[in-house]
Amino acid sequence: MTLVDVRELVKHYPGERSWLGLGPARASIRAVDGVSFTIASGRTLGLVGESGSGKTTVGRTMLRLQEPTSGKMMFDGTDVFALDAGALRALRRRMQIVFQDPYSSLNPRMTVEETLREPLEIHRLNGTVAALLEEVGLDGAFAKRYPHELSGGQRQRVGIARALSVEPVFVVCDEPVSALDVSVQAQVLNLLADLQAKRRLTYLFIAHDLAVVRHIADDVAVMYLGKLVERAPAAEIYTQPRHPYTTALLSAVPEPDPKAGKQRIVLTGDMPSPARPPSGCPFHPRCPHPLKSERCRVDVPPLREITPGHPAACHYAEQPMAVSESRPSASAARD
């Protein structure tokens, strides 16, 4: 059963005026530009892409932490964007978020106990702080500590406990392990997987590291410059990527065996500005596909189904680019 249905989500930020407010306003920033996807109940969608691709904006706008420019966010049959303040507050018990930085997301003046008790009291729930701490793998003694007395992994566990305190069914995980040590990342990922199985949670897991997403996501969607460029079941997208951007991201995932012979695809230049996106395919200025042509510079490729359940936005998606086909030129810029 579909729990989350995002339809043509758009979030544009108005351009700033020049110095002293003179002259015309600058072009608006197209942070999210027509993104659509669904998430079935109890499953995890991994949303990946480079920094600046619009992933976090998608998650925050879905929960109306930022107001959308247009589009719909259907949650269990309810249009979240059409709710008034009272109805939205009541619904937010069922939708929560775990932020990227576990330190800045916690109030430094509140103990762990105060942080976790606050949502219980606001929503008049019967849960206890001790039970929440136990569920995320922390001893009850942590209740009297302040955020600065905790490690990064412990702070993130507190953030997860706070999100779970109101008994949600849908959680946006906004790069929840990117600020943690590698040794702690696996522990937090395992915790999120265990909580999902225990509570039947649905996740939108935002990340830029495909290696991390591989361990938790059922489906993967790839974003570039505010648009979805590919989506598929996780097992398929890691073995049969159809978009050259996805192929490039996968080539950057470290291999345990350096002799495996995988060639790194080096993308030229930087991601274009979302205020001035290129014409045609947004990826064409950096695309290493050997079949790239003038068509890519002129025509915007639609997100179309290449194989059942596997859409991609590339004119040459039927002829996917293997990693071995990569031919980085000597003049290619660093990532």
* Together in a domain, 196 and 250: no
pLDDT digits (tens, 9 = 90+) for 244-285: 999 999 888 777 666 555 677 888 888 898 988 999 999 999
For residues 152 and 56, state if they share a domain. Answer: yes
Instruction: List the domain range (segments joined by +) for residue 121.
Output: 2-15+25-222
Residue 159 sits in a domain of what CATH number? Answer: 3.40.50.300
- Statement to judge: residues 82 and 177 lie in one domain: yes
Domain shared by 212 and 292, yes or no: no
**Residue 262, pLDDT score:** 65
- Encode burial over 286-303: b for 16+ CB neighbours within 10 A, e otherwise: bbbbeebeeebeeeebeb
Report yes or no on 311 lying in a domain. Answer: yes
For residues 71 and 145, state if they share a domain: yes
43 and 151 assigned to the same domain:
yes
| 43 and 187 share one domain | yes
Residue 122 resides in a domain: yes
Domain boundary (222, 255, 276) is at 222
Domain total in the chain:
2
Last residue of a domain, one of 171, 193, 222: 222
**Calpha distance 15→333 (Å, rounded):** 29
Which residues are 47's β-sheet partners? 206, 221
Residue 83 lies in a domain: yes
The pLDDT score that the predictor gives to residue 23 is 62
Model pLDDT, residue 22: 62
Q: Which of 113, 35, 37 is nearest to 70 (CA)?
A: 35
**Together in a domain, 253 and 214:** no
- Asked if 78 and 19 count as a contact pair (C-beta separation under 8 A), the reply is no
User: Which position has the token pair 């030229």?
Assistant: 268
What lies within 8 Å, CB to CB, of 91 at 6+ separation is 75, 78, 80, 83
Domain-located, residue 209 = yes
User: What's the rounded Cα separation, in Å, for the pair 90 and 113?
Assistant: 23
> pLDDT by residue for the chain (335 residues), tens digit each?
899 999 999 999 987 766 666 666 677 899 999 999 999 999 999 999 998 899 999 999 999 999 999 999 999 999 999 999 999 998 999 999 999 998 899 999 999 999 999 999 998 898 899 999 999 999 999 999 999 999 999 999 999 999 999 999 999 999 999 888 888 999 999 999 999 999 999 999 999 888 889 889 999 999 999 999 999 999 999 999 999 999 999 888 777 666 555 677 888 888 898 988 999 999 999 999 999 999 999 999 999 999 999 999 999 999 988 654 443 333 333 33
CB neighbourhood size of 28 (10 A)? 14
Is residue 228 one of the residues assigned to a domain?
no
Show which of 222, 253, 274 is a domain's final residue: 222
Q: Decide if 238 contacts 301 (C-beta within 8 A).
A: no
Whether this model's pTM surpasses 0.75 = yes
DSSP string, 31-86: EEEEEEEEEETT-EEEEE--TTSSHHHHHHHHTTSS--SEEEEEETTEEGGG--HH
Residues 144 and 198 in one domain: yes
Contact 165, 159 (CB under 8 A): no
231 within a domain of the structure (yes/no): no
Specify whether 120 is located in the same domain as 264: no
- Provide φ and ψ at 13, rounded to 5°: -100, 130
Amino acid letter for position 60: R
Q: What is the DSSP letter of 130?
A: H
The answer to whether 292 and 325 have CB atoms below 8 angstroms apart is no
- Residue 123 and residue 93 in contact, taking contact as beta carbons nearer than 8 Å: yes
170: in domain: yes
pLDDT the model gives residue 323: 55
Instruction: For residue 263, tell me if it sits in a domain.
Output: yes
**51 and 159 fall within a common domain:** yes
CB 332 within 8 A of CB 268: yes
Query: Does residue 56 sit in the same domain as residue 170?
Result: yes
Q: In which residue are the tokens 């591989």 written? A: 214
